[in-house]
């Protein structure tokens, strides 16, 4: 779609959809390098499969630290699986949020 209206994309670049829905309006497209595209999609809220937001992760870390709720209860509170909470706790995901 982009190339039909704007032109050929430079070698080493890709199209990034700013909005992860199926919005095909030209203002939803951005030309980025492959490295930029990878970094856009790999962290936190910008990941297309993320259901958590930064403020949620901060609260999850607080909940984990308080020890009042177990990981299953925290997962239910935020609508994610307990494995996600475990990965946050161990720093496997969302490690950029302290």
| Phi, psi for 71 (deg, rounded to 5) | -60, -35
pLDDT in tens, 39-81: 655 566 666 667 899 999 999 999 999 999 999 999 999 999 8
Question: CA 94, CA 25: separation in Å to the nearest integer?
Answer: 31
pLDDT confidence of residue 14 = 74
SS3 5: helix
Residue 79, sorted as left (phi over 0), alpha (psi -120 to 50) or beta, turns out to be: left
pLDDT in tens, 15-34: 766 665 556 677 767 776 76
pLDDT confidence of residue 7 = 74
> Which has more pLDDT, 12 or 97?
97
Q: Is the pLDDT of residue 3 over 90?
A: no
pLDDT confidence of residue 76 = 95
pLDDT confidence of residue 92 = 86
pLDDT confidence of residue 39 = 61
């Amino acid at each position: 779609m982009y190339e039909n209206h704007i032109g050929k994309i430079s070698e080493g670049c890709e199209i990034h959809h700013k909005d992860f829905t199926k919005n095909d309006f030209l203002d939803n497209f951005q030309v980025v390098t492959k490295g930029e595209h990878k970094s856009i999609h790999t962290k936190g809220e910008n990941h297309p499969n993320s259901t958590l937001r930064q403020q949620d992760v901060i609260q999850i870390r607080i909940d984990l630290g308080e020890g009042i709720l177990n990981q299953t209860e925290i997962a239910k509170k935020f609508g994610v699986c307990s494995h996600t909470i475990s990965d946050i706790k161990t720093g496997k995901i969302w490690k950029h949020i302290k």
